[in-house]
Structure 1
Amino acid sequence: MNEKERKEEIIKINTAVGHVMHIIGLVAYYLGIKLPFLVINKGHKSFAKGSIHGIPISKRPLYLTDKNSEDFTIGMAMLNYNIAYLCHTQGVDIPYSKVSHTLQNLFLCCQAANLGR
């Protein structure tokens, strides 16, 4: 893959992640659910932050660059955890092996039989 193709792929990934962040925010707002990780959508400066069991986790980017793939992976894990949490609140069981299936899990959450009840 040449440089131009690689940059185009990064743009596509970042665009998709931005849309997912927006949808999660809307669904959580509609359902009145506080998500475990705070997700801030600021375009190419988007990030996730929060804590687990009182241990703070520093901001992790939710945009991919040539230099931040490890931190981006952690940010995506935080985003996927939020989706899994949304699913859990709606009675949708997500196996551990499928937590990384971002769009599929978001779709399952939105298709829950008792969504919002």
Structure 2
Amino acid sequence: MITTIQGNPTEVTAGLKAILIELSKLDSYVDSKYYRSLLERVPDYKLEIQEGAECIAPAYSWTEVINVELPQLHLVFPYELEGRGRGKLDVAIHTWRTAPEKQKDYIS
């Protein structure tokens, strides 16, 4: 997948966070303190209001979205940073519901 969104794309920061979280748990194998310090510097994802409720923005800034998938939902899958049992499930569901139809039907 190649993202067409610029300005801290959500799927890129989510992937980086997911990797750093796992690396910071490997005290016996890596300098986990280093990875925790990197994790603190990764920007959080941006929330925006769509149809009266919060949803996950594709990035902090963008001009247009020409992606055919919903990269902002990579927070839920595959990175499992949000969703059932992790928080903000309602935000993830609203993100799906307010997404353009052409992005919902894409299968990679």
User: What TM-score results when the alignment is normalised by the length of structure 2?
Assistant: 0.29
User: What TM-score results when the alignment is normalised by the length of structure 1?
Assistant: 0.28
Which structure's residues are more often helix, by fraction? Answer: 1
Which structure's residues are more often strand, by fraction? Answer: 1
